[in-house]
Amino acid sequence: MRLIIFGGTPGSGKTSIIKYVIEELKKDFSIHYIKFDVLATDDDVLIKERLHISTEKRFAGDLCPDHYSALEFPKLIDSHKNKDLLIVETAGLCLRCSPYVDKGLGIVVMNITAGKPSSYGPILTEADIVAINKGDLISQAEREIFRIKLLEVNPKANIIETNGLTGEGSLDLAEAVKNMPHTEGRLILKKSMPSAICGYCYGNKIIDAEPAYERYKKGSALKSLLPNKNCGACGYKSCNEFIRAVLDGLIEKEKCPFVKWDR
Domain ranges across the chain: 2-179, 196-263
pLDDT digits (tens, 9 = 90+) for 80-139: 999 999 999 999 888 888 899 999 999 999 999 888 899 888 999 999 999 999 988 889
Select the CATH number that applies to the domain covering 196-263 from these four: 3.90.25.10, 1.10.10.60, 1.10.15.40, 1.10.1740.10: 1.10.15.40
| Count of H-run helices and E-run strands, the chain | 8, 7
Kindly indicate whether the domain formed by 2-179 is annotated with CATH number 2.40.30.10.
no
Do the Cβ atoms of 131 and 109 come closer than 8 Å?
yes
Could you tell me which residues come within 8 angstroms of residue 215 by beta carbon, excluding any fewer than 6 positions away?
199, 200, 202, 203, 204, 247
Query: In this structure, are residues 1 and 185 in contact, taking their beta carbons and an 8 Å threshold?
Result: no
Integer angstrom CA distances of residue 8 from 32, 77, 83, 122, 191: 20, 22, 24, 11, 16
Contact 24, 206 (CB under 8 A): no
Q: What is the pLDDT of residues 7-23, one digit of tens each?
A: 999 889 999 999 999 99
pLDDT tens column, 71-89 = 889 889 999 999 999 999 9
124, β-bridge pairs: none
